[in-house]
Amino acid sequence: MSYLPIKQLLQTAPASQTVTVKGWVRTKRESKNAVFIAINDGSTIHNIQAVAEPGQLSEETLKLITTGSCLAVEGNLIESLGSGQAVEVKVVNVTVYGTADPEKYPLQPKKHSLEFLREIAHLRPRTNTFSAILRIRHALAFAVHKYFNDNGFYYLNTPIVTASDAEGAGEMFRVTTLDPINPPRTEDGKVDYSQDFFGRETNLTVSGQLEGELGAMALGKIYTFGPTFRAENSNTTRHLAEFWMIEPEMAFFELEDNMNLAEDFVKTVIRYALDHCADDLAFLENRLKEEEKNKKKEEQSDMTLIEKLRFVVDNDFVRLKYTDAIDILLNSKPAKKGQFQYEVAWGIDLQSEHERYLVEKHFKKPVILTNYPRAIKAFYMKQDEEPATNARGEVFGPTVRAMDVLFPGIGEIIGGSQREENLDKLVTRMEEVGIEPEAIWWYLDTRRFGTAPHAGFGLGFERLVLFVTGMGNIRDVIPFPRTPKSAEF
Amino acid sequence: MSYLPIKQLLQTAPASQTVTVKGWVRTKRESKNAVFIAINDGSTIHNIQAVAEPGQLSEETLKLITTGSCLAVEGNLIESLGSGQAVEVKVVNVTVYGTADPEKYPLQPKKHSLEFLREIAHLRPRTNTFSAILRIRHALAFAVHKYFNDNGFYYLNTPIVTASDAEGAGEMFRVTTLDPINPPRTEDGKVDYSQDFFGRETNLTVSGQLEGELGAMALGKIYTFGPTFRAENSNTTRHLAEFWMIEPEMAFFELEDNMNLAEDFVKTVIRYALDHCADDLAFLENRLKEEEKNKKKEEQSDMTLIEKLRFVVDNDFVRLKYTDAIDILLNSKPAKKGQFQYEVAWGIDLQSEHERYLVEKHFKKPVILTNYPRAIKAFYMKQDEEPATNARGEVFGPTVRAMDVLFPGIGEIIGGSQREENLDKLVTRMEEVGIEPEAIWWYLDTRRFGTAPHAGFGLGFERLVLFVTGMGNIRDVIPFPRTPKSAEF
């Protein structure tokens, strides 16, 4: 290539060498002595400044150089006289690749609301905020692959189209090529899915875990990293209909190994972002600071974005049984003052307010909660031998070797468990919760043939990006969000 | 962890240290002097041998140790007396995690056909062939991410559920949550998709390119690597309904930059596999050699698997215009002898037989064909200024800056182009081929605002894995293939 990305140009020692800059105009400023053009090419949050002498560029060309237009600038790389940048480009020649009519181009240099930018998701990566988010998202994705590769895991592409809803994890999207108006029917009037593309009813996957277990019971350690889908009609800042999941699964791992892995994994990828995305994180940290200025004092966070990330990386996660967490919650100020919206009792599915109390108020550290009540967890989790007891010797119901990793601000970021490897226990549990064992005969084969202790967890990638970027709405950390009534672009 | 993967154990210097091996029994052999158990844990193609003294293990335990059963073996790591391995484990204790009834476990130590193994895709990763394929698939996937990360590309997750069939790339899968029997209707009797989950008709993506272009026109260089779908009723060894695509897209790249990138990219990832998967490639190379013995001499390949990979890595790819390729084909022996099944003429879409002739017979090198007839390529490809002419000055129709990379054995492995960045030309072309510009207004915005030269390509990941592993059927290089009438597991 005959030109360098701006990221590299900005790190090049100036010696009046001839360079070419290609990118999009962020701003143009004309003074008596010069024309200053700030150019960005997406390789970095920083612009490079091109400086032309007055009269050097024709009136016609100058008119075309507006925010959003695309240029190739040839010039000399020189030391910058202005503050804020080490080098700038003294213009020799400008080629305008593409214009951006100021009357029509929506991204003029002023503050745009995130809501507005969501409506032009096809253009928002051209803003500082979204280019920073997408570069960080990339770095985190790469860190995920690097972590697992470095640690002997194999990437397993589990299927997106599946015929099983074994997890009963929620509403699913149907995948079909049948005539939508007049689908073929069976004799009893139902849809005849045997004539559908796959010869049966198929859906978009909600999790690759079951197939991941098949992989782990052959390759030892595997991970998935791919799209998953939930057809939940939830219009919240935390839900997407299409999101990316990371699901490692490890033969011979028990609950404690699983916790060790989860903690090391999430710390390592966040550390990677701290090490590789300093400029973008600093930009987003400042963005948050500005945003916080408009908040009430009690709603302002006591840590900056980077402090919050360092806090996760530098602290040991607290490890705690569910039953002990319930005790802490029952004895907490908000419980005694009736400030929790949802009542606390052994057996409840912890609500966000409870999780956040534990993490943000009580321990002030990330927390791994384990050994949840069996009744509120999935059928495949390994059953504990003994029922739960608390410090006072009270006996509760049966538990499973589940673990949830809870983060400040965000609640559950990782959910996992050791898996039930005993065929009889697993089948009995499936029957109790109404899952037909024959429907996933292939999954049960892992327990029929050479079963072994194993464990795994799932991490919603967008949750991680949300945490690392400090953004407030999950629709802002994926390029093209899919939500109820919205599949634009 | 209190145990090491077998891959690491086999590289450990023996000093009678105590070790634990966890894995699945491949074979057990009892002699007068010892019991030999070959154990594999999926971390490597190689087994580790555990040796017990006669009588050391109870009859009861010995009976449970059968092919496919899962063990933890404690013992001492000692130098191996047998050939073929450096170290072995002198058994101190054996724990049987899981049995595998020889009457029922399908993977007994004998040769199984690939067809049979496809029917038990949930177990086939436990075979040498499929564990080797999946480890190589992992290495290639990691090499893809590493290559793009090293070269300043950002990973962009383009949407899986889309509302556009802009490419007109073929039959698509519908994604819906409507009642399949009685979908809501509009007044004129059609399905009322406004009541569907996304408020419109949606499908599974056939390509992330259009969204990828949006990313490139903001971040400079992006790539996608995710699942794509084709609802084609093709039961061949080359087609999957669900497959993984890699699609880089680069602002400011023209056709030649695109070719340089494609060649460097595919060589780098194949070199990565050669460097990191030597054992697995050697295993698959031997597998192919055995398979070839049953073939007629003229059907045997003149290169081994690794020679074929080296050949791609070590040779410059030939770069040739479509029009010149047609000339070569017209003057070829097979054309003159009437041996091509499909007639050769300027304007045809080259068939596999033509591509393979150019690569395997004429040039004996990978070939990049460029400047195809406009009529047989997609609407978004950049139009050449001048119509094609051949060496004799004959003038043909208009061409586009397309490029296809052709590989031995496999034909097209990469397809790409410079993109038409001129709004008027693009819209005119869309209208000519019957695509409604309004349907992808957001795509056209890249040409309305700050347009620039750009280019990209697509590579079907399974095609690459097929080439590198030397397998013959694409269903054997993805863990759980999705094909017409088949969505098991």
CA distance linking residue B91 with residue A364, whole number of Å? 48
Give the type of residue at B231.
A
CB atoms B135 and A154 under 8 Å: yes
Listed residues B51, B78, B107: the one ending a domain: B107
The verdict on B87 and B130 lying in the same domain is no
What's the CA gap between B152 and B198, in Å, rounded? 35
Give helix A128-150 / helix B209-219 axis angle, nearest 10°.
110
Distance CA A9, CA A1 (A): 13
Band of the pLDDT at B410, cuts 50, 70, 90? confident
Do the chains contact at A204 and B142, CB–CB below 8 Å?
Answer: no
Q: Could A142 and B162 be called an inter-chain contact, meaning their C-beta atoms sit closer than 8 Å?
A: no
Q: Chain A 316-375, CB below 8 Å of chain B: which residues?
A: none
pLDDT score recorded for residue B170: 64
Contact yes or no for A100 and B449 at CB 8 A = yes
Per-residue pLDDT at B2:
66
Assess whether B61 and B147 both reside in one domain: no
Task: Write the single-letter amino acid at A74.
Answer: E
Residue B181 falls inside a structural domain? no
Nearest Cα to Cα of residue A357 among A437, A411, A279: A411
Q: Cβ B183–A178 below 8 Å, yes or no?
A: no
Please report whether residue B178 resides in a domain: no
CB contact under 8 A, A242 and B22: no
Residue A285, pLDDT score: 98
Nearest to B241 by CA among B206, B208, B211: B206
The CA distance from A378 to B489, in Å, is 19
pLDDT of residue A1: 43
List of chain A residues whose C-beta atoms are within 8 Å of the C-beta of residue B190: 181
Residues B224, B304, single domain; the answer is yes
CATH of the domain at B142: 3.30.930.10
Does B226 contact A226 at a Cβ distance shorter than 8 Å?
yes
User: CB distance from A449 to chain B under 8 Å?
Assistant: yes
The 8-class DSSP code of residue A421 comes to -
Residue of A214, A448, A479 lying closest to B125 (CB–CB) = A214
- A286 and A383 housed in the same domain: yes
**Averaged confidence pLDDT in chain B:** 95
Sheet with A242-251, strands from edge to edge, namely A154-155, A221-229, A242-251, A454-460, A411-418, A399-407, A367-373, A318-321
- Put residue A189 in one of left, alpha, beta given phi > 0 → left and psi -120 to 50 → alpha: left
Burial A22-34 (b: 16+ CB within 10 A, else e): bbbbbebeeeeee
Tell me how far apart the alpha carbons of residues A216 and A459 are, in angstroms, rounded to a whole number: 17
A425 at interface of B, judged by CB pairs closer than 8 A: no
Please tell me whether residues B222 and B277 are part of one structural domain. Answer: yes
CA count, 13 A, side-chain hemisphere, B36: 13
B392 contacts chain A (CB < 8 A): no
Q: Domain end: B107, B137, B156, which one?
A: B107
Q: Please report the number of interchain residue pairs, chain A to chain B, with beta-carbon separation below 8 angstroms.
A: 334
How far apart are the C-alpha atoms of B118 and A342, rounded to whole Å? 50
Q: In the prediction, which pLDDT does B82 show? A: 77
For residue A386, being part of any structural domain is answered with yes
A488:B158 CB<8 A: no
User: Across the interface, do B181 and A158 touch by the CB < 8 Å criterion?
Assistant: no
Angle formed by the axes of helices B305-314 and B278-292, nearest 10°: 120
* Percent over 70 (pLDDT), chain B: 98
Query: A78, A107, A136 — which closes off a domain?
Result: A107
Clarify whether residues A407 and A462 are in a common domain: yes
Residue A24 corresponds to which tokens in the numbers above?
A: 């999009």
**CB proximity under 8 Å: B 233-272 to A:** 233, 241-242, 244, 251-253, 257
A152 touches chain B (CB under 8 A): yes
Q: Can you name the residues that pair with B22 across neighbouring β-strands?
A: B72
pLDDT number for residue B1: 43
Instruction: Go through chain B and tell me how many residues it has.
Output: 489
Q: What six digits make up the tokens of B304?
A: 């081994």
- The pLDDT tens digits of the residues spanning B44-97 come to 999 999 999 999 999 999 999 999 999 999 999 999 987 788 999 999 999 999
Q: Is residue B485 part of a domain?
A: no
Q: pLDDT by residue for chain A (489 residues), tens digit each? A: 468 999 999 999 999 999 999 999 999 999 999 999 999 999 999 999 999 999 999 999 999 999 999 999 999 999 998 777 899 999 999 999 999 999 999 999 889 999 999 999 999 999 999 999 999 999 999 999 999 999 999 999 999 999 976 555 568 999 999 999 999 999 999 999 999 999 999 999 999 999 999 999 999 999 999 999 999 999 999 999 999 999 999 999 999 999 999 999 999 999 999 999 999 999 999 999 999 888 888 888 888 999 999 999 999 999 999 999 999 999 999 999 999 999 999 999 999 999 999 999 999 999 999 999 999 999 999 999 999 999 899 999 999 999 999 999 889 999 999 999 999 999 999 999 999 999 999 999 999 999 999 999 999 999 999 999 999 999 999 999 999 999 999
The CATH number of whichever domain residue A32 belongs to comes to 2.40.50.140
Inter-chain residue contact B180 with A181, CB threshold 8 Å: no
* Strand A318-321 with A242-251, pairing: unpaired
- Predicted pLDDT of residue A165: 61
For A334-381, the DSSP string reads: HHHTT--SS---TTPPPPHHHHHIIIIIIISS-EEEEEEEGGGS-TTB
Cβ-Cβ contacts under 8 Å, A243 against chain B: none
| B window 34-73, beta carbon within 8 A of A | 41-43, 68-70, 72
CA distance A113 to chain B (A): 19
Tokens of A330: 């029952």
List Cβ neighbours of B65 (8 Å cut-off, separation of 6 or more). B25, B28, B37, B57, B71, B94, B96
A344 and A213 part of one domain: yes
Q: Are residues A85 and A234 in the same domain?
A: no
- Inter-chain residue contact A251 with B219, CB threshold 8 Å: no
pLDDT value, residue B218: 98
Using the Cβ of A26 and the Cβ atoms of chain B, whether some distance falls under 8 Å is answered with no
Q: Among A145, A253, A438, which would you mutate to test the B interface (most chain B Cβ atoms within 10 Å of its Cβ)?
A: A145
The reply to whether B481 falls in a domain is no
Within-domain flag for B68: yes
Q: Is B156 on the interface with A (CB under 8 A)?
A: yes
Give the span between the Cα atoms of A229 and B177, in whole angstroms. 12
- The number of beta carbons lying within 10 Å of the beta carbon of residue A77 is 22
Own/partner pairs for B462-468, CB < 8 Å, 24+ apart?
A: B462/B240, B462/B243, B462/B244, B463/B410, B463/B413, B464/B140, B464/B266, B464/B269, B464/B413, B465/B133, B465/B136, B465/B137, B465/B140, B466/B410, B467/B407, B467/B409, B467/B410, B467/B413, B468/B136, B468/B140, B468/B270, B468/B273, B468/B281, B468/B309
Entry pTM: 0.97
Q: From the CA of A261, how many Å to the nearest CA of chain B?
A: 10
Q: How far is B105 from chain A (nearest CA, A)?
A: 7
Which of A156, A482, A487 has its CB closest to that of B479? A156
Same domain for B165 and B59, yes or no, is no
Question: Mean per-residue pLDDT for B236-240?
Answer: 94
Which residue among B3, B72, B125 sits closest to A215, beta carbon to beta carbon?
A: B125
Number of folded domains that form chain A:
2
* Domain hosting residue A37, numbered range: 2-107
Rounded to whole angstroms, the Cα distance separating A389 from A324 reads 9
pLDDT value for A2: 67
Choose among B68, B159, B486: nearest Cβ to A480.
B159
For residue A40 the two structure tokens come to 């960005």
C-alpha A315: how far from its chain's center?
Answer: 22
Tell me the nearest-neighbour CA distance from B298 into chain A, angstroms. 37
**Predicted local distance difference test score (pLDDT) of residue A166:** 56
| Same-domain status, B65 and B133 | no
The pLDDT score that the predictor gives to residue B409 is 87
pLDDT for res A331 = 97
CB contact, 8 Å: A382 with chain B? no
**Cβ(B483)–Cβ(B235) below 8 Å:** yes
Cβ neighbours of A220 in B, within 8 Å: 5, 23, 41-43
Residues B7 and B103 in one domain: yes
Residue A220 is nearest to which of B42, B105, B482, comparing CB atoms?
A: B42
Task: Give SS3 for A157.
Answer: coil
B31 Cβ contact partners less than 8 Å away, ≥ 6 residues apart: none
Domain contains A413: yes
What pLDDT is attached to residue A460?
97
The residue in chain A having the minimum alpha-carbon distance to the alpha carbon of residue B3 is: A252
Cross-strand pairs, B318: B367
Is some CB atom of chain A closer than 8 A to the CB atom of B122? yes
Query: Looking at chain A, which residue has its C-alpha nearest residue B181?
Result: A191
Based on the fold, state whether residues A164 and A54 are members of the same structural domain. no
| Cβ-count burial B430-448 (b if 16+ within 10 Å, e if not) | beeeebeeeebebbbbbbb
Distance from B213 to chain A by nearest Cα, in Å? Answer: 10
**Residue A407 DSSP SS3:** strand
**Residue B229 domain-assigned?**
yes
- Asked if A486 lies within 8 A of B199 by C-beta distance, the reply is yes
Q: If pLDDT is split at 50, 70 and 90, which confidence band does B165 have?
A: low
pLDDT at B302: 81
Please indicate whether, in this complex, the C-beta atoms of A453 and B97 are within 8 angstroms of each other: yes
- Which residue from B221, B178, B181 is spatially nearest to B200, judged by alpha carbons? B178
Q: For residue B243, which residues of chain A lie inside 8 Å, CB to CB?
A: none
Alpha helices by DSSP H, listed for A86-237, are 114-119, 128-150, 209-219
